[in-house]
Amino acid sequence: MQLKITALAFLVVVFARVAMAADVKQLEKRAVEPLPAKPEVQILTVSYEPGESSIPHRHNAHTFIYVLEGQVRMHVEGGKPAVLSAGDTFYESPTDIHIVSANVSQTEAAKFLVFFVKEAGTEPTRAVD
């Protein structure tokens, strides 16, 4: 029994040291209120070819975006357009109308990660008329 506890303590110390050696960078921190009654997380990637863009839409979700490659322009109604590069983040609330997301480049592809916090069983995106 003593050997098992000692081995476990050793592993805890090793994992703690490994975690402390990691390079941790906070990208975004924000309150997301109100949360859906039955919250669900959905994560996906979006790739845009050179010059490609979206139509106006809204997300029925708290939407977090992290740019993986290239540069994208994001613009929500009432806000200022933002040009994001790899490593940048962007947030949209469930009430925002997303006027456009677009690949800034006419020669390079762009790719970003989308993290939705939404009502379970619902689609996170819908077109705006």
pLDDT tens column, 58-104: 999 999 999 999 999 999 999 999 999 999 999 999 999 999 999 99
Report the share of the chain in percent with pLDDT over 90. Answer: 70
Residue 87 to residue 110: CA distance in whole angstroms: 12
Locate 128 and state its tokens: 């705006």
Do 39 and 111 form a contact (C-beta atoms < 8 A)?
no
- pLDDT attached to residue 3: 45
Residue 128 to residue 126: CA distance in whole angstroms: 7
Domain boundaries defined on the chain:
32-127
> What's the fold here for domain 32-127?
Jelly Rolls (2.60.120)
- pLDDT attached to residue 91: 96
Q: Determine the Cα angle at 107 with ends 79 and 49, to 5°.
A: 65
Mean pLDDT of 32-55: 94
Measured in degrees and rounded to the nearest 5, phi and psi for residue 2 equal -60, -40
Neighbours of 63 (CB within 10 A): 24
